[in-house]
Structure 1
Amino acid sequence: MSQQEFYLDSNATTVVLPPIADAVMKALTQEFGNPSSSHVTGIRAKARMERTRALARQVMGAHSGQVIFTSGATEGIQTAVISALQTAKTRPMPEAPLLLYGATEHKAVPETLKHWARLFDIPAEVRAIPVDGRGRLDLDFIAGHIDRALMICTMAANNETGCFQDMAALERVIRSGNPQVPWMVDCVQALGKLPLALAETSIDYAPFSGHKLYAPKGIGWLYVREGVPLTPVIAGGGQESGLRSGTENGAGIAALEVLFGMMLSQDGAFADHATLLGYRAQLVNTLRGVFPELVFNQDHDCSVPTTLNFSVPGFSSKELMDLFDAAGIRVSSGSACSSKVTRSFVLDAMGLPAWQSESAIRLSFGPAMTQAELDAVCERIDSAVAALATSCLLESDRDAEKHGLKGLIQFKAGSSCCWLYVDPDSNHCVVVDPVDSLNQRLERLIRCQDLVPLAILDTHGHADHESSGVALREALFDRIPAELMAVDALGWPNSCGTRRTLADGQVMPALTLGNSVLVRAPLPGHTDDSVALLLSRNACDTLLAEDIDFAFCGDTVLAGTLGRTNFSNSQPLSMYHSLNQLSVWLHPDSLICPSHDYHHQFATSLAAELREGGLLAEVLSGGMGEHAFMLAKAELDSGLCDQAGSELMCGATVAQSGGAIPELRAAELQQWRREGRRLSLLDIREPHEFALSPTSDADNVPLSRLVDFIGQQRYRLDSDPMVLVCRSGSRSLLASQSLRRLGVTNIHHIAGGHALS
Structure 2
Amino acid sequence: MGVQEPRCSDEIYLDANATTPVLPAAVGAVQEVMQELYGNPSSTHITGLRARHLMESTRQLARQVLGTDSGHLIFTSGATEGIQTAVVSALSAIQKDSNRLNKPRKLLLYGATEHKAVPNSLKHWNALLGIDAELLAIPVNHQGLLDLAFIRDHAADALMICTMAVNNETGARQDLRAIEEAIRSQNPQCLWMVDCVQALGKMPLALSASTIDYAPFSGHKLYAMKGIGMLYVRDEAPFSPFIAGGGQEKGLRSGTENLPGIASLKPILEALLDPEHQCFRSLDTLVAFRAQLAATLKDAFPGLVFNNDFGVSVPTTLNFAIEGFASKELLDLFDAANIRVSSGSACSSGASRSFVLDAMGLPAWQSEAAIRLSFGPAMTQAELDAACDRIRQAADALKFSCRHPQQLRPEQALKGLVQLKSGADCCYLLVAGHKAVIIDPVAPLVERLVQTMSCQHLEVMAILDTHGHADHQSAAATLRQRLGLTDAELDPLGWPAAAPQGPLALPCLSLGELTLSRMATPGHTGDAIALLLAKGDTIQAAFVGDTVLHGGLGRTDFASSDATALYSSLRALAQKVPAKALLLPAHDYHNLLFTSFEAEQRNNPLLADALSLVATMDAAAFAARKTALDQALACPQGASEIRCGVTLGELHLRPEQELQVADLARFEAPHLIDVRESHEHHLQHLGNDDSAPLSRLAQYLLDHEDDAPLICYCRSGSRSQVAAAALSRLGRQAYHLKGGVALSR
The two structures have a TM-score, normalised by structure 2, of 0.91
Match of 1:692 in 2: 683
Shift in alpha-carbon separation, 1:438–1:637, aligned structure 2, 3 A: farther
Measure how far apart 1:50 and its partner are.
1.2
Shift in alpha-carbon separation, 1:45–1:724, aligned structure 2, 3 A: same
> Does the alignment pair 1:438 with 2:448?
no
Match of 1:414 in 2: 423
Question: In the alignment, residue 501 of structure 1 is paired with which amino acid?
Answer: P
Match of 1:455 in 2: 462
Question: In the alignment, residue 691 of structure 2 is paired with which amino acid?
Answer: N
> Does the alignment pair 1:150 with 2:150?
no
Match of 1:753 in 2: 740
Match of 2:3 in 1: none
Match of 1:702 in 2: 693
Comparing 177-186 and 246-255, the one that deviates more: 177-186
- Structure 2 CA distance for aligned equivalents of residues 146 and 306 of structure 1: 32
1:267-302 per-residue CA deviation (whole Å, 9 max, x = no partner) reads 311111111111111111111112222221222111
Match of 1:42 in 2: 48
Match of 1:263 in 2: 272
Shift in alpha-carbon separation, 1:49–1:286, aligned structure 2, 3 A: same
Measure how far apart 1:72 and its partner are.
1.3
Measure how far apart 1:28 and its partner are.
1.9
> Does the alignment pair 1:642 with 2:634?
yes
Comparing 117-126 and 649-658, the one that deviates more: 649-658
Comparing 86-95 and 429-438, the one that deviates more: 86-95
Measure how far apart 1:210 and its partner are.
0.6
Aligned with 1:140: secondary structure? helix
Aligned with 2:510: secondary structure? strand
Aligned with 1:638: secondary structure? helix
Match of 2:715 in 1: 727
Is the 2:542–2:583 contact (alpha carbons within 8 Å) kept by the matching residues of 1?
A: yes
Is the 1:555–1:651 contact (alpha carbons within 8 Å) kept by the matching residues of 2?
A: no
Question: In the alignment, residue 541 of structure 2 is paired with which amino acid?
Answer: F
Shift in alpha-carbon separation, 1:207–1:600, aligned structure 2, 3 A: closer
Question: In the alignment, residue 720 of structure 2 is paired with which amino acid?
Answer: S
Match of 1:104 in 2: 113
In the alignment, structure 2 segments of 5+ residues that lack a partner are 1-5
Shift in alpha-carbon separation, 1:318–1:163, aligned structure 2, 3 A: same
Question: In the alignment, residue 187 of structure 1 is paired with which amino acid?
Answer: C
Match of 1:540 in 2: none
Shift in alpha-carbon separation, 1:64–1:290, aligned structure 2, 3 A: same
In the alignment, structure 1 segments of 5+ residues that lack a partner are 538-542
> Does the alignment pair 1:343 with 2:350?
no
Match of 1:199 in 2: 208
1:569-595 per-residue CA deviation (whole Å, 9 max, x = no partner) reads 445555555445445544443323222
CA-based RMSD: 2.8
Aligned with 1:508: secondary structure? coil
Aligned with 1:342: secondary structure? coil
Match of 1:353 in 2: 363
Measure how far apart 1:683 and its partner are.
1.0
Shift in alpha-carbon separation, 1:709–1:371, aligned structure 2, 3 A: same
Instruction: Give percent identity, aligned residues only.
Output: 53
Measure how far apart 1:175 and its partner are.
3.2
Measure how far apart 1:87 and its partner are.
4.0
Pick from 129, 152, 166 the counterpart of residue 138 of structure 2: 129
Measure how far apart 1:203 and its partner are.
2.4
Shift in alpha-carbon separation, 1:6–1:66, aligned structure 2, 3 A: same
Pick from 320, 323, 333 the counterpart of residue 310 of structure 1: 320
Is the 1:661–1:749 contact (alpha carbons within 8 Å) kept by the matching residues of 2?
A: no
> Does the alignment pair 1:74 with 2:62?
no
Question: In the alignment, residue 741 of structure 1 is paired with which amino acid?
Answer: R
- Structure 2 CA distance for aligned equivalents of residues 32 and 363 of structure 1: 38
Measure how far apart 1:386 and its partner are.
1.8
Match of 2:492 in 1: 489
Question: In the alignment, residue 499 of structure 1 is paired with which amino acid?
Answer: Q
Aligned runs of 1:161-240 on 2, under 5 Å? Answer: 161-240=170-249
Pick from 29, 37, 61 the counterpart of residue 31 of structure 1: 37
Aligned with 1:593: secondary structure? strand
Match of 1:13 in 2: 19
Match of 2:732 in 1: 744
Measure how far apart 1:65 and its partner are.
2.8
Shift in alpha-carbon separation, 1:26–1:587, aligned structure 2, 3 A: same
- Structure 2 CA distance for aligned equivalents of residues 352 and 171 of structure 1: 27
Match of 1:54 in 2: 60
Question: In the alignment, residue 156 of structure 2 is paired with which amino acid?
Answer: D
Comparing 205-214 and 645-654, the one that deviates more: 645-654
Is the 1:184–1:203 contact (alpha carbons within 8 Å) kept by the matching residues of 2?
A: yes
- Structure 2 CA distance for aligned equivalents of residues 170 and 620 of structure 1: 61
More contact order relative to length (CA 8 Å, sep ≥ 6): 2
Is the 1:61–1:199 contact (alpha carbons within 8 Å) kept by the matching residues of 2?
A: yes
Shift in alpha-carbon separation, 1:608–1:374, aligned structure 2, 3 A: same
Aligned with 1:356: secondary structure? helix
Is the 2:365–2:444 contact (alpha carbons within 8 Å) kept by the matching residues of 1?
A: no
- Structure 2 CA distance for aligned equivalents of residues 655 and 362 of structure 1: 30
Is the 1:580–1:620 contact (alpha carbons within 8 Å) kept by the matching residues of 2?
A: yes
Is the 2:681–2:687 contact (alpha carbons within 8 Å) kept by the matching residues of 1?
A: no
Comparing 156-165 and 399-408, the one that deviates more: 399-408
Match of 2:654 in 1: 660
1:77-132 per-residue CA deviation (whole Å, 9 max, x = no partner) reads 22223333344434732542333322222222222233333333334333322222
Is the 1:565–1:572 contact (alpha carbons within 8 Å) kept by the matching residues of 2?
A: yes
Measure how far apart 1:367 and its partner are.
0.9
Measure how far apart 1:650 and its partner are.
7.2
Aligned with 2:736: secondary structure? strand
- Structure 2 CA distance for aligned equivalents of residues 337 and 375 of structure 1: 29
Measure how far apart 1:633 and its partner are.
4.6
Aligned with 1:706: secondary structure? helix
> Does the alignment pair 1:553 with 2:544?
yes
Aligned with 2:618: secondary structure? helix
Measure how far apart 1:500 and its partner are.
2.1
Question: In the alignment, residue 533 of structure 1 is paired with which amino acid?
Answer: L
Measure how far apart 1:680 and its partner are.
2.6
> Does the alignment pair 1:371 with 2:381?
yes
Aligned runs of 1:563-602 on 2, under 5 Å? Answer: 563-565=554-556, 567-570=558-561, 574-583=565-574, 585-602=576-593
Shift in alpha-carbon separation, 1:119–1:684, aligned structure 2, 3 A: same
- Structure 2 CA distance for aligned equivalents of residues 665 and 521 of structure 1: 42
Shift in alpha-carbon separation, 1:115–1:596, aligned structure 2, 3 A: closer
1:640-689 per-residue CA deviation (whole Å, 9 max, x = no partner) reads 223244433475445696973733444425x72xx896433211122222
The two structures have a TM-score, normalised by structure 1, of 0.89
- Structure 1 CA distance for aligned equivalents of residues 131 and 566 of structure 2: 57
Aligned residues: 730
Shift in alpha-carbon separation, 1:292–1:43, aligned structure 2, 3 A: same
Question: In the alignment, residue 754 of structure 1 is paired with which amino acid?
Answer: V
Question: In the alignment, residue 635 of structure 1 is paired with which amino acid?
Answer: R
- Structure 2 CA distance for aligned equivalents of residues 123 and 460 of structure 1: 47
Measure how far apart 1:15 and its partner are.
1.2
Is the 2:550–2:646 contact (alpha carbons within 8 Å) kept by the matching residues of 1?
A: no
Question: In the alignment, residue 24 of structure 1 is paired with which amino acid?
Answer: V
Shift in alpha-carbon separation, 1:46–1:683, aligned structure 2, 3 A: same
> Does the alignment pair 1:632 with 2:622?
yes
Shift in alpha-carbon separation, 1:633–1:437, aligned structure 2, 3 A: farther
Measure how far apart 1:328 and its partner are.
1.4
